[in-house]
Amino acid sequence: RRPKNFPPGPITLPLLGNLHNLSLDNPLQDFERLRLKYGNIYSLYLGSKPMVMLCGVQAIKEALVNKAVEFAGRPQDMYVNITTESKGVILADYGPRWKEHRRFALMTLRNFGLGKQSMEERILAELQHTSADLESSIGKFLSPQVMFHNASSNIICQVLFGMRFDYNDWTMKEIVRCFTENAKLANGPWAMVSLNNHNNIPLIFAMFFRCNDPDSTFSEDLLSMYSLDLHFAGTDTTSNTLLTGFLYLMTNPDIQERCQAEIDRVLEGKDKACFEDRHNMPYVQAVIHEMQRIANTVPLSVFHNTTKDTEVMGYTIPKGTMVIPNLSSVLSEEGQWKFPRGFHPENFLNDQGEFVKPEAFMPFSAGPRMCLGEGLARMELFLITVTLLRKFKFIWPEDAGEPDYTPVYGVTLTPKPYFMKVQLREMH
Ligand code: HEM
């Protein structure tokens, strides 16, 4: 039985709760059906465990922003908690340890050059490898899955480990194992090396020094989960957004050409793009934001948990209840977008053709647990899209049939594997 004044929801069955109401392959459509029936806040039971679904910009903001602390916890009794032991940042519960680790990750990203030129240079340097890969594929069919994954993985690997990996190198897959080896190295002579320039120390070493501080909540044991956390969070998200984005750019050649015209105009006479150029590229900015909206990369955010008894939208939610911010529902919410369905960069342009960001643009979630990699992700999406579109034309192969936009469901959504054709453009 639902507690008093708990959000409404479908009848529960013994043992199963509401599991029978959900498709295990892709429950997103079931969640949408339940939203239409019960409203923007409803509850479900996963077995005997209650959870509250928040839909639409109003409910999500009221909870995650206005009642920030109450909704900043993470469930600690799920299967993934057993495998990761809730170490790292993403799954750590609200409290001093999470705070220290989050602050540390933000600081390392900043010291490593985010917001400065050095991070841009690293991204642009990585893009030379991507470009070389693309050039070698001219005239052939190319599967971009691995390519985007490698590029975004290498960018975050530079922050984490201070190195990149060759494309097609099996080491890429073994990165976590290599990290353990690196940690061993750091235990040896590395620890004695005096590093004066703290601004360029990869996270792994910066953290190692923290491990030696007896007052710190860092330990070598936490270290591996922490890097795994950031590696996963920084790779899968960006690459899946790009995969979806380039799929739509290929199947909307008019939009791709309009981006290229703007890029050619703004970058005329320059050899490379920089992040500042975005202010002169309202159309490209709109397209990249529309890519993120339609990609809906982390549809159900990361699950939250209430840290106290609380209320939202007039309902009572006890402490320790799992809460799912349904970001998918916001990114296509009726009334919030000029075009909630389909791929329309106009969602981010006003009548004067200027770039605008509606309140419902929330792919990184909101509140204190909001994505801490947003700055890096936005820089990557911009520099990768602009650099590649400037140099190449991306073509949907004529014999590939109708594109299938239905995503494959998971913590992150990814498009079904597809092929692309690439042509070199004339540089302007
Ligand atoms: C397009 C790219 C990305 C998207 C759409 C995205 C989205 C998200 C979302 C929805 C969350 C959950 C927020 C919440 O619980 O309310 C999250 C958390 C997180 N993201 Fe990202 N992310 C992206 C890229 C990155 C990158 C590049 C990094 C690495 C630097 C990163 C690191 C993290 C971390 C560490 C968390 C956990 C924060 C916490 O629990 O305090 N993300 N991200």
Cα 1 from Cα 17, distance rounded (Å): 10
Interatomic CA distance for residues 101 and 88, integer angstroms: 8
The mean-pLDDT minimum among 70-79, 84-93, 172-181 falls in 172-181
More confidently predicted of 326 and 15? 326
pLDDT at position 196, please?
38
Q: What is the structure's pLDDT at 406?
A: 93
Ligand 1 nearest-atom number relative to CA 88 = 35
Domain ranges of the chain: 19-424
Ligand 1 centroid, distance to 361 Cα (angstroms):
15
pLDDT of amino acid 270: 96
ipTM over 0.85: yes
Query: What pLDDT, on a 0 to 100 scale, did the predictor assign at position 259?
Result: 98
The CA 260 to ligand 1 mean position distance, Å, reads 29
Task: Give 303 Cα–ligand 1 centroid separation in angstroms.
Answer: 12
Tell me what the mean pLDDT of segment 151-180 comes to. 71
- Which pLDDT tens digit goes with each residue over 370-394? 999 999 999 999 999 999 999 999 9
3-state class (DSSP) for residue 398: helix
230 Cβ below 6 A of ligand 1 = yes
The angle that helices 374-391 and 253-267 make with each other, rounded to 10 degrees, is 90
- pLDDT given for residue 183 in this prediction: 30
pLDDT at 323 over 90: yes
Question: Where residue 91 falls among pLDDT bands split at 50, 70, 90?
Answer: confident
Nearest C-alpha to atom 27 of ligand 1 is from which residue? 234
pLDDT of residue 206: 59
Residue 136 is encoded by which pair of tokens? 């070698």
Q: Whose CA is nearest to atom 37 of ligand 1?
A: 90
Residue 84 pLDDT level (bands cut at 50, 70, 90): low
Superfamily for the 19-424 domain: Cytochrome P450 (1.10.630.10)
Helix spans in 161-174 (H)? none
What is the 234 CA–ligand 1 centroid distance (Å)?
7
Task: Return the higher-pLDDT residue of 343 and 222.
Answer: 343
CB 405 within 8 A of CB 377: no
The CB of 234 under 6 Å from ligand 1? The reply is yes
What pLDDT score was predicted for residue 95? 94
Q: What percent of the chain has pLDDT over 90?
A: 60
Residue 46 pLDDT level (bands cut at 50, 70, 90): confident
371 belongs to an annotated ligand binding site: yes
pLDDT band at 190 (very low <50, low <70, confident <90, very high): very low
Tell whether ligand 1 has an atom less than 6 A from the beta carbon of residue 371: yes
